[in-house]
Amino acid sequence: MNGSDEGAGHAARSKRADARRNEETLLDAAAAVFVTSGVEAPVRDIAAKAGVGMGTIYRHFPTRADLIIAVYRHQVEACAEAGPALLETSATPHAALGQWINLFVDFLVTKHGLAAVLQSDNAGFDTLHAYFLDRLVPVCTQLLDAAASSGEIRSDLDAYELMRGVGNLCIGAEHDSRYDARRLVELLIAGLRRPH
In the complex with DNA, the residue whose CB is nearer, 1 or 17, is: 17
Mark the segment that binds DNA (CB under 7 A) among 11-19, 111-119, 140-148, 183-191: 11-19
Q: Are 67 and 34 in contact (CB under 8 A)?
A: no
Does residue 182 interact with a second copy by CB under 8 A?
no
Does residue 105 interact with a second copy by CB under 8 A?
no
Mask 109-148, x = binds a second copy (CB under 8 A)?
-------x--xxx---------------------------
Among 14, 175, 177, 195, binds DNA (CB under 7 A): 14
Minimum CB distance to DNA, residue 43 (Å): 4
In the complex with a second copy, the residue whose CB is nearer, 59 or 186, is: 186
Cβ-count burial 157-181 (b if 16+ within 10 Å, e if not):
eebeebbbebbbbbbebbeeeeeeb
In the complex with a second copy, the residue whose CB is nearer, 53 or 191, is: 191
Does residue 60 interact with DNA by CB under 7 A?
yes
In the complex with DNA, the residue whose CB is nearer, 64 or 94, is: 64
Binding site for a second copy (CB under 8 A): 116, 119-121, 157, 160-161, 164-165, 168-169, 171-172, 175-176, 178-180, 183-184, 186-192
Binding site for DNA (CB under 7 A): 13-19, 22, 40-44, 51-56, 58-60, 62-64, 124
